[in-house]
Amino acid sequence: MTRYSPRVVACALLLSLWVAVARAATIPSPSEFLGLHVGADRTVADYRQILAYFKALDAASPRVEVEILGKTTLGEDLFLAAISSEANLAGKARLQEIARKIADPRGLADAEAEALVREGKVFLFVTCNIHSTEIGASQMAMEWAHALATAEDAETKRRLDSVVLLLLPSINPDGQIMETEWYRRNLGTRYEGGRMPWLYHHYVGHDDNRDWFMLTQKETQAVSGAVYHEWLPQVWLDEHQMGTTGPRIFVPPYSEPVDPDIHPLVWRDVNLIGANMAFRLEQAQKSGVIYGYVFDAYWPGGTKNTAWWKNISGLLTEVASARFATPVRVERNELSGGGKGLVEYGPQTNFPNPWPGGTWRLRDIMDYERILSDAILETCAERRADFLRNALARARASIATYGPADAFRIPAGQRDAAGAARLAALLAEHGVELRATANGDVYVPLAQPYGRFVNELLTPQRYPETKLVPGKEIVRPYDVSAWTLPLMMGVSAERATLPGGLAAWQAAPPALPLDGAAFALAPGSPETARLVNAGLRGGVARIARSAVSAGGREWAAGTVFLDGAAAKAAAAKAAPGQSWASIGSVPPVAEPLRAPRVGLYKPWTASMDEGWTRFVLEQYGFEPKTLDNKTVRAGGLAAAFDAIVLADLAKEVIATGKRKRDEGSMRYSPEMPPEYAGGLEKEGAAALKDFVERGGTLVALGSSSEYAIDELALPVRNGLDRASDFAIAGSLLRAEVVPDHPVTYGLPPEVAVFLDEALAFDTVPPGPEIERRVLATYPAASQDVLLSGWMRGPEAIARKAAAVALTYGKGKVVLLGFRAQHRAQTPGTFPFLFNALYWSTAR
Ligand SMILES: [Zn+2]
């Protein structure tokens, strides 16, 4: 060991002190860097400013590293900042390798595992601001990062030595930018801090936190890639905001119910962290902290929720909101409970210190968030070895839940081979390991770290009927209650024994031969719409209106025939598992098919279902045009459109632009700027009627059916609107399909339909001027109607119609009572919607 003179030591100490001071001096605070007072009333940094600040931190500090995860829907850079000690960031590759082995400990000996626990660091993933109006965390993230980058105290250094913080200041950058622009535009006006009249994500708005098992959006895909393929964190915190007039902050433990297939150590980690958050908040004299309230631990649609089944300790926090960055004053009498875990506002064991009311501002939100953020970092550092050991134990338990030969099989050659290929690709994207036989059967072994996740998504749900007090009433689902992918996708996947000697899975290439004069594309897969729509725009397509033989084979009604040019255009859109047959010539009985001109109604209420519908139609090549109130009211629609689609909207929203619950309740809806107020009104309803009478096709999804029924006086009604015993929460039901109607081409005799409200049709025989066909029916009461999820009172829905088609004037109306395209998660019933659009161009 080298010996230094006291003088050298003193110099070295002085030098290190100087380096520390210089570092702090050269790393500007976010307020200094941006030239605005971060956290002040009516002041917000937008996402581009936040990214610029983090890039500056990265340049100035060896403790911060910015990583771009990908592009958002509207082309912004989605980033995370890795924040840790200089040594940890320098040794990132090794630490990632350790995290990977802890997440997948197959083949790891105990001694080796213990060595990894000693060497490894906790990877703490913190996501902020997925909901763009919940702006606080995106601002707090900058201040937190600055503090961690500049701190020289021993405690912060110890935390940064034990933990690698992976901080994402906003996981919906597009929406953060939209909301900050909208807020700045309305500052100082009567609309300050008010709701935006469009979605804060180009397609899905608030439902960006419902996409985490289906992974349809770019942001979800990028973040999931970082979590399940790159970093493999053990702990994930997602920071949200909630309403203004209840508790100030929710921290875990969660409320009921809990999914029994999630490892209990997930909840033990989560509860330990949540307890420390509450503890530190109370110490800092922050009142209004609640746990065991509203937010459950059951449904896998949200960010960190999906991660529970993948052995990650996922936490949610929810801080009360201001009016964006504008302070609100809450009077004492306005404070209310009303949710699970707090019926009346007042002290309880889970809420010992209620907030008394007063002014609530952005700075309060950021202060609460900063304390809970520091608290999770503290617990992760304190419990470093425990949390790594627990993650290891969870992964091992998941693997040991199943025998080595337990598996699911996704058979080759099934009705919708492209859908089956899509399911396999989705599981792979989730980090699930797949294998395949030479003939294309895909096997999903269950004895792997994400085995419980696989089982959750491939088997039917049975909602746990938890009661909080004795009696009849159960805790109702927070969101939907079914997510069984094979049913939702119309794909078959069954439990099977894993054969030996399988190869690793690879996506099967499409089989679309281009040698020949004509090509036949059988109906039945939603994926064919991509090919048909591309083909229609690149060449000539025809459709068989009844079964027909061609190329030595029978083709079902709904088969589309493409000429060479159409096939070439279509092949460019090919997906795995797709195929068509080369035939000699197109059968002459087939009718010409042209691309439907589709209009999609968009209210100014920021409808998520409108967004999802637009997303699905665009993804499949329908190129819908948006119709706002003004455009519909102007009329003349029949000249421009073949079909107009109404997404799932309450009839009052379509008619007036206001929700029914806004009337009579204590909920107050602030005014909208006049150009965004109102609905279709009388002129819009008349214009839609005129559109149909002149030959247009009106497609009404979900609740919009009731608007169409009322406005067109159809011989149909909702047979469940007075069924008080009936209740449902996003469940999958069995429906029998009536074959050989243009709207049911290619569908199997029985489908799983997704229903989330009391809506099923009774019809009556109409007069001769209307032709009415029921397209799908719920089975008789003696048969099981519920396939997955939760419902009450199945007798009420027995034998009612799930979907109805009618002719009307020269046009047509299609009513789909179930959610045919719910959150882009139900491809099995997309064909009802797609076929209805093709039907609109039929003579
Ligand atoms: Zn939220």
Report yes or no: 305 and 335 within 8 Å, Cβ to Cβ.
no
What sections of 190-349 are H helices per DSSP? Answer: 218-225, 264-283, 303-308
User: Ligand 1 centre and the CA of 130: distance in Å?
Assistant: 7
> From CA 818, how far away is CA 823, in angstroms rounded?
13
Query: Ligand 1 centroid to 272 CA: how many Å?
Result: 23
Asked if the model's pLDDT at residue 8 lies above 80, the reply is: no
Q: What is the sign of the dihedral through the CA atoms of 827, 828, 830 and 835?
A: positive
Each residue of 43-62: pLDDT tens digit?
999 999 999 999 999 999 99
348 C-alpha to ligand 1 centroid (Å): 25
pLDDT tens string 427-452: 999 999 999 999 999 999 999 999 99
How far is ligand 1, taken at its centre, from the CA of residue 241, in Å?
5
Distance 32 CA to ligand 1 centre (A): 29
CA of 209 to the centre of ligand 1 (A): 8
Q: What angle do CA 206, 211, 213 make, to 5 degrees?
A: 155
Task: State the pLDDT at residue 659.
Answer: 80
CA of 319 to the centre of ligand 1 (A): 9
Region 65-87 average pLDDT = 98
| CA 829 to centroid of ligand 1, rounded, Å | 29
| Cα–Cα distance for residue pair 540/645, rounded to 1 Å | 25
The tens digit of pLDDT for each residue in 568-578 reads 999 999 999 99
Residues 581-596 pLDDT 10s: 999 999 999 999 999 9
Q: How much distance in Å is there from the Cα of 131 to the middle of ligand 1?
A: 5
The Å distance, Cα 468 to ligand 1 centre, comes to: 25
Strand pairing report for 731-737 and 750-755: antiparallel
Can you give the pLDDT at residue 43?
Answer: 98
- Residue 533: what are its φ and ψ, rounded to 5°? -65, -35
- Ligand 1 centroid–CA 392 distance in Å is 30
128 Cα to the center of ligand 1, angstroms: 9
Q: How far apart are CA 800 and CA 780, in angstroms?
A: 9
The first and second tokens of residue 668, run together, are 């107050």
Report how far ligand 1's centroid is from the alpha carbon of 208 (Å).
10
CA of 386 to the centre of ligand 1 (A): 30
Q: Are 624 and 598 in contact (CB under 8 A)?
A: yes
Of 286, 292, 168, 179, nearest to 238 (Cα)? 168
Supply the DSSP symbol for 229: I
Residue 479 CA, ligand 1 centroid: distance in Å: 13
pLDDT at 775 over 60: yes
Structure confidence by residue, pLDDT tens digits, 697-748: 999 999 999 999 999 999 999 999 999 999 999 999 999 999 989 999 999 9
pLDDT in tens, 368-385: 999 999 999 999 999 999
For 95-152, how does the pLDDT look when each residue is reduced to its tens digit (9 = 90+)?
Answer: 999 999 999 999 999 999 999 999 999 999 999 999 999 999 999 999 999 999 999 9
| pLDDT, greater one: 324 or 4 | 324
Q: Cα of 221 to ligand 1 centre, how many Å?
A: 19
Tell me what pLDDT residue 338 has.
77
CA–centroid distance, residue 168 to ligand 1 (Å): 15
Q: How far is CA 679 from the centre of its chain?
A: 27
- Residue 532's SS3 state is helix
Centre of ligand 1 from the C-alpha of residue 63, in Å: 29
Quickly state the pLDDT bin for 389 (edges 50, 70, 90). very high
Q: How far is the CA of 175 from the centre of ligand 1 (A)?
A: 13
pLDDT digits (tens, 9 = 90+) for 192-220: 999 999 999 999 999 999 999 999 999 99
Mind listing the pLDDT tens digit for each residue in 137-167? 999 999 999 999 999 999 999 999 999 999 9
Cβ burial, residue 572 (10 Å; 0-12/13-18/19+): exposed
Q: How far is ligand 1, taken at its centre, from the CA of residue 238, in Å?
A: 9
Task: Specify the amino acid at residue 737.
Answer: V
- Which of 120, 222, 104 has its CA nearest to residue 168? 222
pLDDT of 253 above 90: yes
Strand partners, 801: 761, 777
pLDDT number for residue 599: 98
Q: Is the pLDDT of residue 15 over 90?
A: no
Write out pLDDT tens, residues 635-693. Answer: 999 999 999 999 999 999 999 998 876 455 567 778 889 999 999 999 999 999 999 99
Written in H, E and C, the secondary structure of 783-806 is: CCCEEEECEECHHHHCCCEEEEEE
Q: How far is the CA of 802 from the centre of ligand 1 (A)?
A: 33
Q: Give the separation between CA 792 and CA 783, rounded to whole angstroms.
A: 15
| Cα 161 to ligand 1 centre (Å) | 31
Q: What CA–CA distance (Å, rounded) separates 122 from 235?
A: 8
Q: How far is the CA of 637 from the centre of ligand 1 (A)?
A: 38
With vertex at residue 78, the alpha carbon angle to CA 603 and CA 611, rounded to the nearest 5 degrees, is 15
Span from the CA of 401 to the centroid of ligand 1 (angstroms): 33
Q: 129 C-alpha vs ligand 1 centroid, how far in Å?
A: 7
Cα of 388 vs centre of ligand 1, distance in Å, is: 28
Q: Using one digit for the tens of pLDDT, what is the confidence trace for 162-187?
A: 999 999 999 999 999 999 999 999 99
User: Chain centroid to CA 98: how far?
Assistant: 30
* Residue partners of 476: CB distance under 8 A and separation at least 6: 727, 729
The whole-number pLDDT of residue 3 equals 46
- Ligand 1 centroid to 179 CA: how many Å? 14
Interval between CA 249 and ligand 1 midpoint (Å): 12
Separation of 68 CA from ligand 1 center, angstroms? 23
Q: Which residue has the tokens 């999914």?
A: 259
Whole-angstrom Cα distance, residue 139 to residue 32?
A: 14
Ligand 1 centre and the CA of 458: distance in Å?
27
Mean pLDDT of the 507-519 span:
92
The span from the CA of 741 to the CA of 771, in Å, is 13
Give the distance (Å) from ligand 1 centre to CA of residue 730: 20
**Euclidean distance between CA atoms 741 and 591, whole angstroms:** 15
| Predicted pLDDT of residue 478 | 87
Task: Give the distance (Å) from ligand 1 centre to CA of residue 101.
Answer: 32
- Using the mean position of ligand 1's atoms as its centre, give its distance from the Cα of residue 134 in Å: 6
Measured CA to CA, the distance from residue 648 to residue 597 in angstroms comes to 20
Q: Residue 475 Cα, ligand 1 centroid: separation in angstroms? A: 21
Whether 10 shows a pLDDT value over 80: the answer reads no
| pTM of the complete model beyond 0.85 | yes
For the residues 20-47, what does the mean pLDDT come to? 87
Instruction: Taking residues 19-33, report their average pLDDT.
Output: 74
